[in-house]
Structure 1
Amino acid sequence: MVISIVPRRSQERGHADHGWLKTFHTFAFAAYQDPEHDHFGCLRVINEDRVAPHTGFGTHAHREFEIFSYVVKGQLEHRDSMGNVEILKRGDLQLTSAGTGIRHSEHSYGEEQVHFLQIWSIPTKSGLMPKYYTRHFSDEEKKDKWANIVAPVDAEGVVLDREASGPAPVHSTLSLFASILSPSTTLPYTFQTTLGSTQRKGYIHVIQTSGYNEGSATGAHVKVSVGDGSTVELREGDGAYIMGEAKKVLKVENIGDRSAEVVLFDME
């Protein structure tokens, strides 16, 4: 099977500027509806959010989603109906398994805008007991290598404690990796194998670390390629769908003049 890479350009994402919130939607979300970009495998939401100081999302309910936040800059205050209160900072990964239902709020904490990715995935089972997990990954842990920050609950090395080292556990057939790639550096990734399945889906996203930009993507510049010669060039805010076989090698090369922070999803 030929692997294909289909770009998802930054300016083509759903977008809303509410003043207090500036947000991009990779997939259909809220007022942005697009049947061609509704979900990908079990991946349902990738929102790149910027929330102004002293503002945020008031208390609201969720159920039957795995919800995780990847903090890029600033601080994010999380409160929920399970009694969790936490201030998340750069490098923190918070995962809420909403299960039968939770209520939570998210606010910018302090005097600086918070920039984070909000990601939702569809669980493999319904009716789960709600759970909350946090993990921290330093820039050094991501520099020029893949840090595995989220993995299925039954994957090797996954710890089910609220706070621990290693990837946060998710009830989805999804693994999430993050890297901060230096200029002139190439980083390979081999898609995982799952018993009984040879087909994989991937999604890669280049985070807008250099600043908010509604127009055509600028900033960091990477080239993504796979073994059969398919390539695509991406800049900050751009992403790409990847479809093909397990065990195939994907390569991400930083062809720009600055570091590129990227996240990579590997799914059935």
Structure 2
Amino acid sequence: MNAFLHPSENRGHVNIGWLNSKHSFSFGNWYNPKYMGISALRVINDDLIDGHQGFGQHPHDNMEILTCVLKGTITHKDSMGNHGGISAGEWQLMSAGTGIRHSEMNQGDEHVHLLQIWVIPNERDAKPNYQQIRLNPHEAPNQWHLICGPNENAPMHIRQNAEIKTAVLTKGQKLSVAQTQYLNYVHVVEGKVQIAEHTVETGGAIAFLEHSEIEALEDTQVIWFDLPEKAA
């Protein structure tokens, strides 16, 4: 199988005290020309945020911003009037469109663990939009769960020809990976999997074009990005 491996140790590491972050792709002060995103997927940041800390109000535009909370609760507030908590097992999708301002703060005592994922939209300067769902794959393991997609019947609608799915696999279980678009990109949130002859561990990822099967070598959570050939 032709594949592009992205080992966890090749991620950028930024630690500024209250924020300890691993960057799969170039972001902020960490830059690597080998890792500028893949297809429409531009950012996967694995963030640990200390208690009573977070990201103050700041702007974004023309980006689909997906947040997956793995531990704790992050408090969101934005210029569209949305204000509330996003807890472990919940997902938030902000379509920044023409522009939004927002903050994400950990108001608790313990750290929050989340993934921040950016996807380049195929529609520019659209009206900003906010969506949030609860979908905890630990509650229904060994199957794919669609998080967002280009069709209105997806749990959340993303402005790109892409589907994002997640699954928790118990050790020894397998799932099929067959893209509907052009490219598969599987990111291991936690655990270890085998895809063809390749082993991918926590924080790592693999990109491939053809149908394959994923096997959990230990209890594992993955996110599968079914991506178009190009960002637009």
The answer on whether the counterparts of 1:71 and 1:90 sit within 8 Å (CA) in structure 2 is: yes
* Partner AA of 2:3 in structure 1: I
Which residue, out of 8, 21, 44, partners 1:10? 8
TM-superposed CA distance for 1:89, in Å, is 0.7
Partner of 2:185: 203
Inter-partner Cα distance in structure 2 for 1:122 and 1:237: 21
Which residue, out of 153, 168, 171, partners 1:180? 168
Unaligned runs of 5+ in 2: none
The answer on whether the counterparts of 2:137 and 2:166 sit within 8 Å (CA) in structure 1 is: no
The answer on whether the counterparts of 1:142 and 1:178 sit within 8 Å (CA) in structure 2 is: no
Q: Which runs of 4+ in 1 moved over 4 A?
A: none
Partner of 1:196: none
The answer on whether the counterparts of 2:194 and 2:217 sit within 8 Å (CA) in structure 1 is: yes
Matched, 1:223 2:199: no
Unaligned runs of 5+ in 1: 159-166, 194-199, 209-219, 226-230
* Partner AA of 2:215 in structure 1: E
Partner of 1:106: 104
Matched, 1:251 2:213: yes
* Partner AA of 1:94 in structure 2: Q
Inter-partner Cα distance in structure 2 for 1:203 and 1:22: 24
* Greater Cα offset, 105-114 or 134-143: 134-143
Inter-partner Cα distance in structure 2 for 1:171 and 1:31: 27
Largest Rg, 1 or 2? 1
Matched, 1:267 2:208: no
**Paired-residue identity, %:** 33
Alignment TM-score, normalising by the size of structure 1: 0.82
Inter-partner Cα distance in structure 1 for 2:221 and 2:140: 9
* Partner AA of 1:202 in structure 2: N
Inter-partner Cα distance in structure 2 for 1:92 and 1:8: 26
The answer on whether the counterparts of 1:97 and 1:130 sit within 8 Å (CA) in structure 2 is: yes
- 1:75-120 CA-to-partner distances (Å, cap 9, x unmatched) read 1111101110010111111000000000000111322211111001
* Partner AA of 1:49 in structure 2: D
Inter-partner Cα distance in structure 2 for 1:70 and 1:104: 16
Inter-partner Cα distance in structure 2 for 1:112 and 1:99: 33
TM-superposed CA distance for 1:223, in Å, is 0.3
Inter-partner Cα distance in structure 2 for 1:76 and 1:34: 29
Aligned residues: 228
Alignment TM-score, normalising by the size of structure 2: 0.94
